[in-house]
Amino acid sequence: MSEKQVFKPNKEFAKNALIKNMCEYQDLQDWATEDYEGFWGSYGKEKLDWMEPFTKVMDDSNFPFVNWFEGGKLNVSSQCIDRHLDTKKNKAAIIFEGDRGDKQIVTYLELYYNVNKFANLLKNKFDVKKGDRVIIYMPMIPEAAYAMLACARLGAIHSVIFGGFSAEAIKDRVKDADAKIIITADGAFRKDKPYMLKPVVDKALEGATPVKKVLVVQRNFEDVEWVAGRDYSYNELIDLESSHCDPEPMDSEDPLFLLYTSGSTGKPKGVQHNSAGYILWAQMTMEWVFDVKENDTYWCTADVGWITGHTYIVYGPLAMGATTVMFEGVPTYPDAGRPWKMVEEYRINQFYTAPTAIRVLHKMGEDEPGKYDLSSLKVLGTVGEPIDPPAWKWYYEAVGNNNCAIVDTYWQTETGGHVISPLPGATPIKPGCATFPLPGIMAEILDDEGNKAPVGEKGLMCITRPWPAMIRGVWGDKERFIKAYFGDVKKDGKPVYFTGDGAVYDDDGYITITGRTDDVINVSGHRMGTAEVEAAIKKHDNVAEVAVVGKPHPLKGEGIFAYILLKEDDGVADELEEMKAINAIIKIEIGNIALCDDMVFVPGLPKTRSGKIMRRILRSIAKGEEITQDISTLEDPGVVDTINKMVNS
């Protein structure tokens, strides 16, 4: 398979697809270019059910603070549930499969009852109101979705924290969001064994905290500590609540959720998404990119703790009235055939996962897909990191039987939904390539001067006009919002949104994402700030200085490589023990997802005379590349050679 090979959409599929060919795609993109507000206003009216109609499509007079659908009122939980009740009340909204194979089908009517009861519980027992922040720290069980939708129903702002984050990470987020309640579970099951979440929450709440209440869903029924007056059992309380709760009428720009993500400083930022624009784009991209039909069953393997879980497990599928699968377990347990067994069993039509998962499933179960009937599959999706040719090929051939479109969806926590992606019935696909901006998204690769990057030359992936699902702010930090996203690139003298990614056009105008240009690394499709990991490592008593970089990793995409200067090197009898101690601190400060794959204790770090660490050199050394940078201006050029020998010989 050469990079140049093009895979045309399946003709039969294209006939019934929502966007059937590139002419239709181009028509939509032309419409948006010529009449931006007309385009979005029309979709805003058609796709959403308004309690009060909007009066202005977009106001960007205070850019980068932009308002969409001004004057409109709606409720996101009603968009996802209530409006489907007339036509789909007995349709499966959520199909849940537990780690141990336990199954649950939740219809739209049941979802309505469960979410309404949940909202009433939050409102009546815990006084959760519009604008309150609610932390959700949950396993992949339907109650996680109910919790999100219950917050949306009340107008409370949820902030879901991925279950792999540590107590310290929760503490930071709770404090930043000033949250009054945490919804969690005792734990869940992984590889047929219980694992625990509630003890992590208990630890996070030690000392001063704004959190006054903890609501615990009992999932694995293991014993947990119980703080009287603070902790409450969901299972005991939920059925005492009525199954009707009026949805709060929300302004289009009222916040829906915060989701903390890594940036180039040590502190994760609370990315804020608001109501109308977000839910509109979640629904539209679901429809366009996955082309889900009324009887289809769609499965996204992400975790609700990440943006993919928000937009493409919960909000997007439910807003369009689709059936979404939630899976608690691990894709390789009990063997690497588990996802394919589930595809066969539930007749999954669209399957969406990360390249890391594809690489692991390929490595651990190359022949597993062949053992199952995967003929229901129509669209395969990838997200989170570039997909390499061997993984793409296996996905296309072994899983998709050379018959499915692979949609390589490029987007970010900040974009709310897909921004660059193939359309399965229209776009001729080139492996490893996110292809073209979706209609309505003015994405362009620019050079440093803000001109369109020439073909073949790496530039900066930008979005030059505000779009409905774009990040509305960094919680509590306007300056950081402006500086992080709108400070670097200008087009025609005006700041534009810069994604932080590099990208390149090919001769046909296809966009390939080349990876981050900042100090963010992408571990198994999860974003990790090097500064965050460095801050954790510095908490070790014997660490004087540290620099963290990404290093290509065969399964994870990128692994974490730390160069550490110890205060007392001689005192370290056993380097391995010291490494273990440092990783133990990372586990406490951030969680297992940030553990270092490589650590090297160095005698010094390559720094400029002004003291800036030259991470580019360290990246090259980690990759085993030749050092081509000029090192003569460094404070101590000799250290480069020393480190290089330590790492690469």
Catalog residues that contact ligand PRX under the rule CB under 6 A: 261, 307-308, 383-386, 408-413, 434, 499-501, 513, 516, 522, 527
Closest approach of Cβ 557 to ligand PRX, in Å?
A: 9
Helices 275-290/36-47 angle, 10° precision: 90
Question: Closest CB to ligand PRX among 288 and 410?
Answer: 410
Question: What is d(CA 179, CA 159) in angstroms, rounded to the nearest whole number?
Answer: 9
Closest approach of Cβ 335 to ligand PRX, in Å?
A: 27
Question: What is d(CA 583, CA 467) in angstroms, rounded to the nearest whole number?
Answer: 40
Neighbours of 593 (CB within 10 A): 17
What Rg, from alpha-carbon coordinates, does the chain have?
24
Question: Closest CB to ligand PRX among 409 and 427?
Answer: 409
Question: What is d(CA 513, CA 436) in angstroms, rounded to the nearest whole number?
Answer: 11
Question: What is d(CA 368, CA 335) in angstroms, rounded to the nearest whole number?
Answer: 9
Closest approach of Cβ 530 to ligand PRX, in Å?
A: 14
Question: Closest CB to ligand PRX among 513 and 594?
Answer: 513
Between strands 497-505 and 350-353, the pairing is unpaired
Question: Closest CB to ligand PRX among 255 and 500?
Answer: 500
Please, which residues have CB within 8 angstroms of residue 460's CB and are 6 or more apart in sequence?
A: 445, 446, 447, 448, 453, 488, 489, 498, 499, 501, 502, 503, 517
The residue whose Cβ lies closest to ligand PRX is 413
Which residue is associated with the tokens 């050469």?
2
Question: Closest CB to ligand PRX among 176 and 385?
Answer: 385
Question: Closest CB to ligand PRX among 224 and 489?
Answer: 489
Question: Closest CB to ligand PRX among 261 and 644?
Answer: 261
Question: What is d(CA 395, CA 369) in angstroms, rounded to the nearest whole number?
Answer: 10
Please, which residues have CB within 8 angstroms of residue 436's CB and are 6 or more apart in sequence?
A: 25, 420, 422, 427, 509, 510, 511
Closest approach of Cβ 282 to ligand PRX, in Å?
A: 12
Dmax (CA) of the chain: 73
Question: What is d(CA 112, CA 245) in angstroms, rounded to the nearest whole number?
Answer: 10
Question: What is d(CA 513, CA 506) in angstroms, rounded to the nearest whole number?
Answer: 11
Closest approach of Cβ 90 to ligand PRX, in Å?
A: 33
Question: Closest CB to ligand PRX among 153 and 516?
Answer: 516
Query: Which pair of tokens denotes residue 146?
Result: 């109910």
The secondary structure of residue 386, as a DSSP letter, is P
Closest approach of Cβ 199 to ligand PRX, in Å?
A: 27
Question: Closest CB to ligand PRX among 139 and 386?
Answer: 386
Query: Which pair of tokens denotes residue 522?
Result: 């992408």
Closest approach of Cβ 473 to ligand PRX, in Å?
A: 16
Strand (E) positions, 86-219? 92-97, 103-107, 133-137, 157-160, 181-185, 187-190, 193-196, 213-217
Closest approach of Cβ 528 to ligand PRX, in Å?
A: 9
Question: Closest CB to ligand PRX among 421 and 620?
Answer: 421
Neighbours of 61 (CB within 10 A): 8
Question: Closest CB to ligand PRX among 276 and 434?
Answer: 434
Closest approach of Cβ 460 to ligand PRX, in Å?
A: 12
350-367 burial, b at 16+ Cβ within 10 Å, e below that, comes to: bbbbbbbbbbbbbeebee
Is there a cis peptide before residue 334, judged by omega within 30 degrees of 0? yes
Question: Closest CB to ligand PRX among 220 and 350?
Answer: 350
CA end-to-end span of the chain: 34
Closest approach of Cβ 409 to ligand PRX, in Å?
A: 5
Closest approach of Cβ 279 to ligand PRX, in Å?
A: 17
Q: Which residues pair with 93 in a beta bridge?
A: none
Element (H, E) at 31: helix 22-34
Closest approach of Cβ 310 to ligand PRX, in Å?
A: 10
